[in-house]
Amino acid sequence: MNLASLLYRAARTRPDSPALYRGKDLHATYADFGARVARLAGWMQRHAGLHPGDRVAFAMSNCVEFQEVLWATWHAGLVAVPINAKLHISDFTYIIKNSGARLAFASPDLADDIATVIASLPDCEAMVATGSPAYAGALQAEPLAMEPREPTDLAWLFYTSGTTGRPKGAMLSHRSLMGCIFGYVTDIDHIAESDHWLHAAPMSHGGGLYGLPFVAACAAQIVPESGKFDPPEIMDLLADFTGVSFFAAPTMVKRMIEHPAVKAGDTGNLRTIAYGGGPMYLADAEAAYALLGPKLAQLYGQGESPMTITCLSRAELQDASHPQFAARLASTGRAFSNVEVMVADADDNPLPAGELGEVCVRGDVVMQGYWGNPEASAEALRNGWLHTGDIGVFDEFGYLSLKDRSKDMIISGGTNIYPREIEEVLLQHPAVLEASVIGEPDPEWGENVVAFIVPRPGSKADRDEIDRYCLQSMARFKRPKSYHFVEALPKNNYGKVLKTDLRADLASRKSGETV
C-alpha cells in the first residue's frame, strides 16, 4: 500500500485530465504529474543515494513543486517531513536534525536559511531549491518504478508541539493517510472529477493532507500564485474554476466573509469550506452560513490523528431549519466513520453524555507514536487510545463540544503555539527572572499570545528590547502580542504557576501594565 499508487492510477486512467494549476495556468496534467514524480523519485534514489525509509525534509511555501516533492518522496518509498514555512531557523534546524533527514528541499524564499541549516548538520547531505538548475536537472532523471510499501510503513512525520515545548514528530503511516482520504470522502464531502481543491492554507499541515482525496478522485488541485490565503485572489480564481473547495482555519473564514470582495462577489463556484484547526464562535459560523449559504463543513483533529476525530459534513449543514442546527453548528460534530471517540475520566473510563472529560480517539488514522520519543508515545497512546489533551462533552445525540484544553496550547490563526517554548526563550533574556505565557481571546485570530514577566532585581525590563529579542529567537507569529510586568507569578504549594489566575488577572485589566 503505497500512497503514490493513487497518483499512478490517476496518471494511467485520466492522463489528459488537469492535475495541478499554478493560479489559473495549468502546470501539469495527470500524465505530466505522474511522469515528473517518477523522474524526481528516480533522482532521489539513484543520484541522492536515498533508500526506502529515509526521511526527506522540505521547508516550502505553497507551490506546485511541493506536490511534486511530496508524491515523489512516497513514490521512492521515502518518508516526507514537511516543515511549516513560517517557522524560525532554529525550528528548521531542530526538525531536520531530529528527523534524521538526509535530503532537504526548499522553496526559493527559504533556500538561504535551509542551506545554512544543512551546512551545520552533517547527516543531511544535500539541499535542493525549487526553480533552480539542480531541481530542473532532477526532473530529467531516469524514471523510477514505484516502490511497494507496507501499510504500516511511515509516510509522513507530522511535527506538532507537545508537552515538552519542542515539536514532536507524529509518525503517520500510509494506512493513516489512507484513513484521512476515507474520512473526507465518507464524512466531509463527495468529490467529482470536475472539482478542484484550492490550497489556501499551508500544505505542510492538515490543509495539505486534503489534497490527497482529490488525487484519489482524479480531480485537480490549485495553488494560488501568491502561495497564500488572499480573499480577492480566491474570488478571482472562483471566476474561472467550478466546484472549488478549500480548508481554512476559523480565523481565515472570518477574514473571508468580512472582506468586501467576498461580500460583493459571486461565490457560486465555491463548493465547500472545510474549517478546523481551532474553535469557531457560533456567531461567526452563522455569519458564514448566511453569506455563503450551505457550503460549510467542520472537522476536528490533531497532528496525531490528522483532521479525523469528529466532523460536521457538508450534507449535514444543508438544513438550517433542523431543530438541532444551532447546537450542532456550535459543536465539533460526531465521530468520523473510521475512528472511535470517547470522553474519558482520569482512569480512562468512558463518561456518559453530559459529563466533561478528556477526548480520546483510536483507529487506523491515529499515529503510531512520536519519532524517537518512546516515553511521550506511551503517555499519549496509553491503554490503546490517543489522549488528545482536550476537554470535551458529548450530547445525547453523540455530538462533541470542546470546552477547554488540558494542555496550555494556544491556537492563533489556526496554528498551535506552545507556551513553554516561548517561556524558555524569554527566560534566556538577562532582564527576565520568571515568565509565563497564556492565550488571550481575540475575535480575529482566535487567541493572542500574552507574556507575564517578573524582571530581575536591579534590571530594567524594556518591552521593546524584549520584543526584538523574541523576534530574533522565534517565528514572528509565536512572539507575544503584549507583555505584562509583575512583581510575582501566582503559584500553588508545589511551585506551579497558576495560569488560571493569570487569565483572571488579564480579564480584569483594562489598561493595566501592558507596555
E strand or H helix at 341: strand 340-344
Q: Are 57 and 110 found together in one domain?
A: yes
Q: Distance between CA 411 and CA 401 in Å, rounded?
A: 17
Would you say residue 138 lies in a domain? yes
Q: Is 102 part of any domain?
A: yes
Q: Residues 4, 103: one domain?
A: yes
Q: What is the pLDDT of residues 28-40, one digit of tens each?
A: 999 999 999 999 9
- Inside any domain, residue 278: no
Q: Name which of 14-28, 46-60, 153-167, 201-215 the model is least confident about.
A: 153-167
Alpha-carbon gap, residue 121 to 127, rounded angstroms: 11
**Which residue pairs from 380-383 have beta carbons closer than 8 angstroms and sit at least 24 positions apart in sequence?**
380/304, 382/348, 383/348
Residues 138-194: pLDDT tens digits?
Answer: 999 999 999 899 999 999 999 985 434 578 999 999 999 999 999 999 999 999 999
User: Do 40 and 144 belong to one domain?
Assistant: yes
Whether residue 496 is found in the same domain as residue 362: no
Residues 48, 83, single domain; the answer is yes
> What is the Cα–Cα distance from 453 to 423, expressed in whole angstroms?
9
Whether 418 is covered by a domain: the verdict is yes
Residue 268 inside a domain? The answer is no
Kindly indicate the confidence band of residue 512, based on its pLDDT and cuts at 50, 70 and 90.
low
Domain-embedded: residue 190: no
Whether the pLDDT of residue 122 is over 70: the answer is yes
Indicate which CATH number applies to the domain containing 372: 2.30.38.10
Query: Does the pLDDT value for residue 315 go beyond 80?
Result: yes
Q: Which residues constitute the domain of residue 43?
A: 1-8+28-149
User: Is residue 475 in a domain?
Assistant: yes
CA atoms of 148 and 139, how far apart (whole Å): 22
d(C-alpha 296, C-alpha 312), whole Å: 9
Q: What is the mean pLDDT of residues 361-384?
A: 96
CATH number of residue 73's parent domain: 3.40.50.980
Cβ-contact 306, 176 below 8 angstroms: yes
Last residue of a domain, one of 113, 129, 149: 149
Q: Which residue has the cell 507551490?
A: 63
> Which residues in 66-102 are b (16+ Cβ under 10 Å) and which e?
bbbbbbbbbbbbbbbbbbbbbbbbebbbbbbebbbbb
Q: Give pLDDT, residue 421.
A: 79
| Average pLDDT score over the chain | 92
**Mean pLDDT, residues 438-446 taken together:** 87
Same structural domain, 380 and 427: no
Assess whether 371 and 498 both reside in one domain: no
- C-alpha to C-alpha distances, 351 to 367, 391, 405, nearest whole angstrom: 24, 12, 17
Q: How many domains does the chain have?
A: 3
Q: Are residues 426 and 401 in the same domain?
A: no
Q: What is the CATH classification number for the domain harbouring 472?
A: 3.30.300.30
Judgement on whether residues 401 and 458 belong to the same structural domain of the protein: no
Task: Tell me the pLDDT band of 405, cut-offs 50, 70 and 90.
Answer: low
**Is a pLDDT exceeding 90 seen at residue 281?**
no
The pTM (predicted TM-score) of the whole model is: 0.85
Alpha-carbon torsion (463, 466, 468, 471), positive or negative = negative
